[in-house]
Amino acid sequence: MNQTDQNEADGRRRDIAYEKDVVRKNRRQNRGIGWNGKTLREQLAELEDKTEATDRYAGISELSLKAEDPIRYEQLYSRLRADLVSARETSKEVSATPIVEQEGELCYGLFTPEGDSIAVSTGIIVHIHTMSEAIKFMINHDYEESPKIEPGDIFVNNDPHVGDVHPCDLMTLIPIFHEGELVAWAGGVNHVIDTGAVAPGSMSVSQASRFGDGAYYTARKIGEDLELYNSWKKEYPAKTRTPSFLKLDERTRITGCLMIRNSVKGMISRIGVETFKQLSREAIEDSRRGFRSRIQKTMLPGTYRGASFVDALYEGQGNVTRDYADENHIMHAPSELHIRSDGSFQVSFEGANKWGWHPYNCTPAAIQGGIWVMLTQTVLPNELVNDGAYYACDFHLPVGSWANTQNTETAHAYAWHFLVSAWAPLWQHLSRGYYARGFWEEINAGNANTSNWLQGGGIDQFDKLHAVNSFEAACEGVGARYVEDGEPHAAAIWNPEGDMGDIEAWERVEPLPFLGRTVKPNTGGAGRRAGGAGFESMRTVKDVSRWLLYEMGNGYMSSDGGLFGGYPAASGYILNAQDTDLEERFENGEDYPQSDLDPESGDFESKIDGEVTRRPEGISTPKEFDDYDMYLNYLRGGSGLGDPMEREPEKVVEDIHDGYVLPRHAKDAYAVVVEKVDDEAKHNSAVQGEWELDEAATERLRQERMRERAENAQPVSEWCEEQRDRIRSGKDLIDDVKKTYESSMRMSEPFSEFFRDFWDLSEDFSFELSEQAQRSLNNRFDTGCRPMWDNHTRRHKTWLDVEDEPYVPYTWTSRSIQDLPDPASTFAGGRSGYSDP
């Protein structure tokens, strides 16, 4: 360490020793570490009471700092945020994983003493609210008394039931003190390579419960005086297959947190602690008002309703850890968005089906954080992103559903699978509002299902135990917008700054050489505006032993449905080749597969001999792979918007040349007829040759398609009658579908009433299930709750069942419209927007 760094470290130690002394003296005087001698729990309780009573954060009525000197307010806030971004950009270079260094799967937040985020860095900002929950958990479970919260302490958490999405996101939290008072928390989180789960990788898929998810660290103190405990240093490296990477990840997070601590201390020395406190409170209230104002300006009051589904198929899979987990699941997410006259924003998942013996279950922190990050990319276009948005929203998450298991037996390793799929209708809710208010440039058909996840591990090319977790999934196609096509292979909804990462960076840490990487045609949803295309990487395996790989993603089902007549993005599939002749092909200089651009062409199979597995599913449990086996990593596209028949034919030709659409798909999906005019020209790897539009043939084909549509169309009433017959008879319905709806009906009496009423079913209607499906449902419903929180926060009541009546009134009945003052209800402030905070 050079002298400058040594001096800084010494100064930090002295500061911590001094602060600790003040805190301990205060404690002897019965004073807590909160403001003005309050304990943290008192401070949180008071904050929640005042916030709810006034509908303003902390009861703040005037943004006086902002009002008195708006430029200074913006400067101060921007400085905080810039320092957070700087902490991220600097500290990520400490990490050795491409997950952090390439993909930027890292973020930082600055929090109030009560755990509300004041400002966030760029990156995986979903965690701004998850870290918030983790801090509140520590407060409400009296960590101030034991193990104590003191200057220089270091805490870790990765427990979704406390505050996280899934256990591979490890967070570090450091309290920041000033003169014996806790003035803020610095928090950092990143996605690690391996959690020590039953299967190698960060998001194991084959476990039935939490006990196979990997190591859980439930809001633990792991150090003091900014030094990690020896017990911690000895414990966690042994709980992962990749200890060196996790050690560097931890140093990354601590580096960033210390940079944030320095920033806060510096700001306090310049502007004084009272101004800092005021800034932290006002920034959150400012953001809360901004969110509501934005809702009032861009949406219409009322109830927006939709539903989404995604598959998780385990029946017949090998390596499932429990026999009772050998079953298929379909996630059902009835989704309602209630926009009230005051601009309040309520999301309800009433009718969501039961959690399952799979790792895709969610906790409220995951759902709220997840939806929150989506809102920051849709509703909040500015940098004032903090927990103000959280305070502007309510979430009704039925206890016992996949969205809120309240059961610490459930597995959560890849909660995103259900989470990302479940919020697909939210894009549509918002887009419908935007459309109605004329904000057409804001309309988006929805994000891609963020898969596939290439994961696995074993003995790597350096003869070491290792695990891999390709984060190419941080680069998916984006949904089509109303005014332009979706961006191809651009980002992931959970990380708006995602990237596919350099091939060389992945190859340094993964014994999986790339044979090719290319745009994947036909993956973006067709539409007047096309969904952004996904991409694919063809990988082989080299210099490994006892190596496992597996897939994770949507298979038969598309979780996003397309918008305004646009088509969904393509669903997933699995392609592997084992026991191949790839080595011989290399030696002989022969052709070999570098892609699988057209899965139906037979091109892949024609270039390799071996045992080829091609399945229309998205999830597989770990399978053994040897050298020269092959694995396709296919990253999904975004959904389309508008009728594909309305897409300009010339644009479809451009799509062909850009590799987004195959010529045969142009005809099938867009009714665009093209002709190859030159074999030689090469625009990209997907299509060889030059293509031209046949305008006359296209016109004829489109007219023919429209005629076919008219001929095939039927009145909705007839269609409903047909579907009603299917439901009543149970014929032509697979057991998985019946189990899904039966589960939702058992979960929710209101949903059950709605379902029976909508389909005109008898009052005692239920689906007839197979004995296995019945047993599985009974088993899970009988399991009950095992909640983690003893003392909930006030805001948890929006998803807690309060005296048998959910706090947020769901509207699968006719209540929703009646909740508005009158059918012509609008926002009080009119078109000008928010009038009264």
Q: Which stretch binds other proteins (CB under 8 A): 31-39, 90-98, 368-376, 582-590?
A: 31-39
Q: How far is the CB of 428 from other proteins (least distance, A)?
A: 35
Q: Which stretch binds other proteins (CB under 8 A): 53-61, 349-357, 472-480, 608-616?
A: 53-61
Q: Which residue among 16, 19, 23, 39 contacts other proteins (CB under 8 A)?
A: 39
Q: Which stretch binds other proteins (CB under 8 A): 22-30, 90-98, 166-174, 578-586?
A: 22-30
* Residue among 563, 289, 553 nearest 426 (CA): 563
Q: In what order do the strands lie in the sheet with 623-625?
A: 465-469, 455-459, 545-550, 623-625
Q: How far apart are CA 303 and CA 341, in angstroms?
A: 11
Decide: is 274 part of the binding site for other proteins (CB under 8 A). no
Q: How far apart are CA 13 and CA 223, in angstroms?
A: 14
Decide: is 21 part of the binding site for other proteins (CB under 8 A). no
First to last CA, the chain: 51
Q: How far apart are CA 324 and CA 353, in angstroms?
A: 18
Q: How far is the CB of 794 from other proteins (least distance, A)?
A: 7
Decide: is 114 part of the binding site for other proteins (CB under 8 A). no
Site string for other proteins, 566-605 (x = CB under 8 A): ----------------------------------------
Residues 609-638 within binding reach of other proteins (CB under 8 A): none
Q: Which residue among 29, 588, 712, 717 contacts other proteins (CB under 8 A)?
A: 29
β-partners of residue 660 are none
Distances (CA, A) of 546 to 539, 583, 622, 625: 17, 19, 11, 8
| Residue number, 33 or 258, with CB nearest to other proteins | 33
Residue given tokens 């913006």 in the structure block: 74
Between vectors from CA 231 to CA 228 and to CA 234, what angle results, nearest 5°? Answer: 95
Q: How far is the CB of 45 from other proteins (least distance, A)?
A: 4
546 CB-contact burial (10 Å; exposed 0-12 / middle 13-18 / buried 19+): exposed
Mind giving me the DSSP string for 730-790?
-TT--HHHHHHHHHHHHH-HHHHHHHHHHTT--TT------HHHHHHHHHHHHH--B-S-S
Q: How far apart are CA 107 and CA 124, in angstroms?
A: 5
Q: How far is the CB of 567 from other proteins (least distance, A)?
A: 48
| Residue number, 43 or 518, with CB nearest to other proteins | 43
* Residue among 164, 88, 91 nearest 131 (CA): 164
Write a three-state SS string for 167-227. CCEEEEEEEEEECCEEEEEEEEEEECCCCCCCCCCCCCCCCCCHHHCCCCCCCEEEEECCE
* Residue among 559, 754, 547, 750 nearest 638 (CA): 559
| Residue number, 112 or 444, with CB nearest to other proteins | 112
Q: How far apart are CA 521 and CA 603, in angstroms?
A: 14
Q: Which residue among 269, 545, 779, 791 contacts other proteins (CB under 8 A)?
A: 791
| Residue number, 181 or 327, with CB nearest to other proteins | 181
| Residue number, 12 or 27, with CB nearest to other proteins | 27
Using the 8-state DSSP alphabet, how is residue 401 labeled?
B
Decide: is 30 part of the binding site for other proteins (CB under 8 A). yes
| Residue number, 299 or 808, with CB nearest to other proteins | 808
Decide: is 32 part of the binding site for other proteins (CB under 8 A). yes
Residues 145-204 within binding reach of other proteins (CB under 8 A): 145
Q: Which stretch binds other proteins (CB under 8 A): 33-41, 242-250, 435-443, 647-655?
A: 33-41
Decide: is 75 part of the binding site for other proteins (CB under 8 A). no
Decide: is 61 part of the binding site for other proteins (CB under 8 A). no
| Residue number, 54 or 779, with CB nearest to other proteins | 54
Decide: is 50 part of the binding site for other proteins (CB under 8 A). yes
Decide: is 22 part of the binding site for other proteins (CB under 8 A). no
| Residue number, 19 or 144, with CB nearest to other proteins | 144
Decide: is 46 part of the binding site for other proteins (CB under 8 A). yes
Residue given tokens 């998810």 in the structure block: 213
Q: How far is the CB of 143 from other proteins (least distance, A)?
A: 12
**Helix orientation angle between 243-271 and 273-298, rounded to the nearest 10 degrees:** 110
| Residue number, 761 or 788, with CB nearest to other proteins | 788
Q: How far is the CB of 301 from other proteins (least distance, A)?
A: 25
| Residue number, 791 or 818, with CB nearest to other proteins | 791
| Residue number, 40 or 548, with CB nearest to other proteins | 40
| DSSP strand pairing (220-224 vs 227-228) | antiparallel
Decide: is 52 part of the binding site for other proteins (CB under 8 A). yes
Q: Which residue among 16, 33, 45, 189 contacts other proteins (CB under 8 A)?
A: 45
Mind giving me the DSSP string for 640-705?
PBS-GGGS-HHHHHHHHHHTSS-HHHHHHHH---EEEEEEEEESSSS-EEEEEE-HHHHHHHHHHH
Tokens of 100: 């952090």
Q: How far is the CB of 181 from other proteins (least distance, A)?
A: 14
Q: How far apart are CA 538 and CA 520, in angstroms?
A: 11
User: Sign of the C-alpha dihedral, residues 45, 47, 51, 53?
Assistant: positive
CA contacts within 13 A on the Cβ side of 760: 8
| Residue number, 145 or 749, with CB nearest to other proteins | 145
DSSP-based three-state secondary structure for 235: helix
| Residue number, 26 or 774, with CB nearest to other proteins | 26
Q: How far apart are CA 625 and CA 618, in angstroms?
A: 18
| Residue number, 140 or 308, with CB nearest to other proteins | 140
Decide: is 141 part of the binding site for other proteins (CB under 8 A). no
Q: Is-contact 658 683, C-beta < 8 A? A: yes
Q: Which stretch binds other proteins (CB under 8 A): 44-52, 218-226, 550-558, 656-664?
A: 44-52
Q: How far is the CB of 132 from other proteins (least distance, A)?
A: 17
Decide: is 140 part of the binding site for other proteins (CB under 8 A). yes
Decide: is 565 part of the binding site for other proteins (CB under 8 A). no
CA contacts within 13 A on the Cβ side of 613: 18
Segments of 314-430 assigned E as strands: 328-339, 345-348, 393-396
Q: How far is the CB of 51 from other proteins (least distance, A)?
A: 9
Decide: is 55 part of the binding site for other proteins (CB under 8 A). no
Q: How far is the CB of 164 from other proteins (least distance, A)?
A: 24
Site string for other proteins, 794-823 (x = CB under 8 A): x-----------------------------
Q: Which residue among 56, 59, 594, 654 contacts other proteins (CB under 8 A)?
A: 59
Q: Which residue among 15, 42, 326, 819 contacts other proteins (CB under 8 A)?
A: 42
Q: Which residue among 103, 116, 133, 144 contacts other proteins (CB under 8 A)?
A: 144
| Residue number, 55 or 819, with CB nearest to other proteins | 55
Q: Which residue among 44, 65, 279, 493 contacts other proteins (CB under 8 A)?
A: 44
687-694: list long-range contacts, CB under 8 Å, 24+ apart: 687/521, 687/656, 687/657, 687/659, 687/662, 687/663, 690/657, 691/653, 691/656, 691/657, 691/663, 692/653, 693/649, 693/650, 693/652, 693/653
Q: Which stretch binds other proteins (CB under 8 A): 34-42, 122-130, 318-326, 759-767?
A: 34-42
| Residue number, 28 or 731, with CB nearest to other proteins | 28
* Residue among 528, 494, 333, 338 nearest 429 (CA): 338
Mind giving me the DSSP string for 411-476?
--TTTHHHHHHHTHHHHHHHHHHHHHHT-GGG-B--PPP-----EEEEE-TTSSEEEEE--GGG-B
Q: How far apart are CA 435 and CA 452, in angstroms?
A: 32
- Count of chain residues binding other proteins (CB under 8 A): 29
Q: Which residues of this protein are in contact with other proteins, per CB under 8 A?
A: 28-32, 36-42, 44-46, 48-50, 52-54, 59, 139-140, 142, 144-145, 791, 794
